[in-house]
């Protein structure tokens, strides 16, 4: 604080906000406070009313945490954000730290004295997170203190109101299963396990269970709320009544009682006083919930949110919806790819009016093609449109400052998706603008070999995504290359574009892939400062019929995504006969499904783009 004289500490500046928070912390009698990016629901997106980290520090990334002490403050971000944090945050106020290489525990060791009290808001940290923090603080001889009222909220004067987006019913025809049916089954499982109720804090679990959708956050059609699922299949839904229409309330019926969000604590206390066993997920539910249950005398059973697995295993109607959404989305993406092949090539070569196509222009065009379907509710995430070196930044988001032309002889990586009522899409295509180099083609083909190995894979029931990950990397590995991200994430059905519990990753994960699960298949390769390659389709896990002489019950992947893969980037000689046959057969499917939706030049372009590889 010695250097703050020169700072403008009015409420409108970051310095002023930090000073106000510090004053409030002193009032509360604590020595520091943690400000995470997440909210009470631990989702990927948070509403403006919960953007505490951005308000305090200016940092707008999707993950991070600040720690404010009286004489020092730091912000901890992962490898995606080490550059961005320096652009957005005043370093004289918050020291930027890499969350794993320079972790909070190390920083606290240097800055927190034994006996001091570090505070946190128990609504904003999960039970697991708090347990880890407690260990850290124990090791330092300091204490971790939960505050009933968030001191940042007390000084956040212009804090936006919580979102109140109207909640819609998710059609039974799309959900494939009534809420009553889902509640009865999951309730029955709780009953069998002697559990009175399960606490649900994940908005996508509640949306799935009640067959509702909302709009409280961007990109995911979620209403923010809490719920208690009882062993008899009844639900107490703690949701702002302003978001509800009579139609929704009526459809939910008597077994779902609507309660104000602030009543959740009372219900937890009631369960506790009755000595009931209550299930809560320590990986996702707030510490506050565990504390309240324990204080009231409940037997808390730590366990996975019971909606996670059934939500991940899409039923026939949801799969049919995903296929329909992908046919629609594939046509929009194909129109975009055609536009790009004409505009970007011509303008990069100077053969057309206007400068070259820019990343932002491309992203807007793609969104417009999706919007033209008339079914788009939202993008499923901010489009990643990276040309040349920007393509090598795995989590690149285009901005006015970073916007870059699609130059001749470069690669353009475009990762995008749409939220449609019948399904969520997520597709990455990497395109050559002008003539690609041999190295680009070779590495693209290695990535493609990995993609195909996974797409063609059959595997026994019980196999986890971790077991399959290396299939997508083997070809790259053989040439001393790799990529530093997972190979596949789960995808919701008009829900979150990233959902668990399954994933395809180097990280150990023992969740078996089950029929109906959707995962992405997205190996990549990134040459820093030069270009990025990623080929991403969504696939559904399916039963694979047993052929003659076959002995095991096998599963396989059905590829859902339908859009051409840039054949100009494929070195045919690097593909085996089976791999080339897979690509030709995939392209034949794309042609059959998408061409009838296109007209004129776009259709002709698609037909050429999906022709078999030349021998």
**Site residues (vs a second copy, CB under 8 A):** 439, 453, 456-460, 463, 466-471, 474, 477-482, 506, 508, 510, 544, 546-547, 549-552, 554, 576
Shortest distance in whole angstroms from residue 38 CB to a second copy? 27
User: Of 298, 72, 279, which is closest to residue 193 (Cα–Cα)?
Assistant: 279
Please, which residue, 211 or 544, has the CB nearer to a second copy? Answer: 544
Shortest distance in whole angstroms from residue 452 CB to a second copy? 12
Shortest distance in whole angstroms from residue 473 CB to a second copy? 8
What distance in Å separates the CA atoms of residue 591 and residue 596, rounded to the nearest whole number?
A: 8
Shortest distance in whole angstroms from residue 114 CB to a second copy? 19
Residue 532's DSSP bridge partners are: 526
Shortest distance in whole angstroms from residue 87 CB to a second copy? 27
What distance in Å separates the CA atoms of residue 311 and residue 326, rounded to the nearest whole number?
A: 19
Please, which residue, 92 or 458, has the CB nearer to a second copy? Answer: 458
Label residue 71 left, alpha or beta by phi (over 0 means left) and psi (-120 to 50 means alpha): alpha
Please, which residue, 98 or 456, has the CB nearer to a second copy? Answer: 456
Shortest distance in whole angstroms from residue 159 CB to a second copy? 43
Please, which residue, 19 or 555, has the CB nearer to a second copy? Answer: 555
User: Of 526, 532, 569, which is closest to residue 404 (Cα–Cα)?
Assistant: 532
Residue 538's DSSP bridge partners are: 520
Shortest distance in whole angstroms from residue 340 CB to a second copy? 29
User: Of 520, 608, 533, which is closest to residue 560 (Cα–Cα)?
Assistant: 520
Please, which residue, 5 or 573, has the CB nearer to a second copy? Answer: 573
Instruction: Name the strands in the sheet holding 384-387, side by side, starting at the edge strand that comes first in the sequence.
Output: 384-387, 410-416, 427-433
Shortest distance in whole angstroms from residue 538 CB to a second copy? 21
Shortest distance in whole angstroms from residue 241 CB to a second copy? 45
In this structure, what DSSP letter does residue 539 have?
Answer: E
- The CA-based dihedral angle spanning residues 176, 181, 182, 185, taken in that order and rounded to the nearest 10 degrees: -140
Please, which residue, 263 or 572, has the CB nearer to a second copy? Answer: 572
Give yes or no for a contact between 177 and 195, defined as CB atoms under 8 angstroms apart: no
Q: Could you please report the per-residue DSSP string of 388-451?
A: GGGGGSTT----TTT--B--TTEEEEEEE-EEETTEE--EEEEEEESPPPHHHHHHHHHHHHHH
Shortest distance in whole angstroms from residue 443 CB to a second copy? 9
Taking the chain, what is the end-to-end CA distance rounded to the nearest angstrom? 70
What distance in Å separates the CA atoms of residue 495 and residue 214, rounded to the nearest whole number?
A: 10
φ, ψ dihedrals at 325, nearest 5°: -60, -35
Please, which residue, 240 or 469, has the CB nearer to a second copy? Answer: 469
Please, which residue, 315 or 437, has the CB nearer to a second copy? Answer: 437
| The dihedral sign for the CA sequence 455, 460, 465, 470 | negative
Give yes or no for a contact between 217 and 186, defined as CB atoms under 8 angstroms apart: no
Instruction: Specify burial of residue 171 (Cβ count, 10 A radius: 0-12, 13-18, 19+).
Output: middle
Give yes or no for a contact between 229 and 235, defined as CB atoms under 8 angstroms apart: yes
Shortest distance in whole angstroms from residue 304 CB to a second copy? 17
Residue 124 tokens read as: 């904003």
In this structure, what DSSP letter does residue 559 have?
Answer: E
User: Of 298, 232, 288, which is closest to residue 261 (Cα–Cα)?
Assistant: 288
Give yes or no for a contact between 594 and 606, defined as CB atoms under 8 angstroms apart: yes
Give yes or no for a contact between 322 and 330, defined as CB atoms under 8 angstroms apart: no
Shortest distance in whole angstroms from residue 511 CB to a second copy? 11
Residue 295 tokens read as: 């204080």
Give yes or no for a contact between 373 and 332, defined as CB atoms under 8 angstroms apart: yes
Shortest distance in whole angstroms from residue 482 CB to a second copy? 5
Please, which residue, 46 or 453, has the CB nearer to a second copy? Answer: 453
Please, which residue, 177 or 461, has the CB nearer to a second copy? Answer: 461
Please, which residue, 10 or 470, has the CB nearer to a second copy? Answer: 470
Please, which residue, 37 or 473, has the CB nearer to a second copy? Answer: 473
Please, which residue, 107 or 459, has the CB nearer to a second copy? Answer: 459
């Amino acid at each position: 604080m010695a250097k703050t004289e020169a700072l403008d500490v009015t409420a409108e500046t970051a310095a002023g906000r930090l000073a106000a928070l510090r004053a409030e912390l002193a009032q509360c009698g604590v020595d520091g406070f943690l400000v995470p990016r997440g909210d009470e629901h631990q989702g990927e997106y948070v509403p403006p009313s919960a953007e505490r980290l951005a308000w305090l520090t200016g940092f707008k990334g999707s993950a991070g945490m600040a720690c404010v002490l009286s004489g020092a403050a730091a912000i901890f971000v992962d490898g995606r954000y080490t550059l961005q944090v320096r652009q957005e945050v005043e370093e004289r106020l918050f020291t930027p730290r890499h969350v794993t290489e320079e972790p909070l525990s190390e920083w606290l060791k240097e800055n927190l004295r034994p006996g001091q009290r570090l505070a946190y808001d128990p609504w904003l940290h999960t039970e697991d997170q708090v347990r880890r923090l407690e260990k850290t603080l124990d090791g330092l001889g300091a204490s971790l203190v939960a505050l009933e009222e968030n001191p940042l909220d007390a000084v956040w004067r212009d804090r936006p109101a919580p979102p109140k987006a109207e909640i819609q019913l998710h059609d039974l025809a799309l959900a494939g299963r009534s809420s009553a049916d889902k509640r009865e089954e999951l309730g029955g499982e709780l009953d069998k396990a002697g559990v009175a109720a399960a606490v649900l804090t994940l908005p996508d679990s509640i949306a799935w269970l009640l067959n509702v959708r909302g709009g409280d956050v961007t990109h995911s059609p979620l209403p923010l709320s809490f719920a208690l699922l009882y062993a008899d299949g009844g639900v107490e839904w703690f949701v702002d009544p302003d978001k509800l229409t009579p139609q929704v309330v009526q459809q939910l019926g008597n077994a779902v009682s609507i309660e104000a969000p602030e009543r959740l604590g009372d219900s937890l206390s009631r369960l506790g006083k009755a000595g009931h066993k209550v299930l809560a997920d320590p990986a996702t539910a707030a510490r506050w919930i565990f504390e309240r249950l324990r204080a009231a005398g409940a037997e808390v059973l730590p366990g996975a949110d019971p909606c996670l697995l059934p939500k991940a295993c899409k039923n026939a109607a949801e799969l049919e919806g995903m296929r329909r959404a992908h046919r629609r989305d594939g046509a929009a993406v194909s129109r975009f790819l055609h536009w790009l092949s004409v505009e970007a090539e011509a303008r990069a070569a100077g053969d057309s009016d206007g400068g070259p196509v820019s990343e932002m222009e491309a992203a807007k065009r793609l969104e417009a093609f999706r919007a033209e379907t008339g079914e788009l509710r939202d993008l499923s995430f901010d489009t990643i449109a990276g040309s040349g070196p920007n393509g090598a930044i795995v989590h690149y988001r285009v901005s006015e400052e970073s916007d870059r032309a699609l130059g001749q002889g470069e690669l353009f990586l475009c990762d995008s998706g749409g939220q449609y009522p019948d399904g969520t899409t997520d597709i990455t295509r990497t395109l050559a603008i002008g003539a690609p180099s041999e190295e680009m083609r070779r590495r693209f083909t290695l990535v493609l070999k990995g993609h195909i190995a996974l797409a063609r894979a059959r595997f026994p029931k019980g196999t986890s995504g971790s077991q399959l990950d290396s299939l997508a990397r083997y070809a790259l590995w053989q040439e001393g290359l790799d990529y530093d991200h997972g190979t596949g994430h789960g995808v919701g059905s008009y829900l979150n574009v990233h959902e668990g519990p399954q994933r395809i990753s180097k990280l150990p994960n023992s969740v078996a892939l089950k029929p109906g699960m959707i995962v992405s298949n997205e190996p990549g390769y990134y040459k820093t400062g030069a270009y990025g390659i990623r080929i991403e389709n969504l696939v559904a896990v399916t039963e694979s019929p047993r052929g003659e002489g076959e002995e095991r019950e096998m599963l396989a992947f059905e590829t859902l995504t339908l859009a051409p893969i840039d054949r100009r980037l494929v070195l045919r000689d690097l593909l085996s006969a089976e791999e080339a046959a897979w690509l030709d057969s995939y392209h034949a499917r794309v042609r059959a499904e998408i061409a009838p939706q296109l007209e004129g030049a776009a259709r002709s372009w698609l037909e050429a783009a999906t022709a078999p590889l030349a021998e």
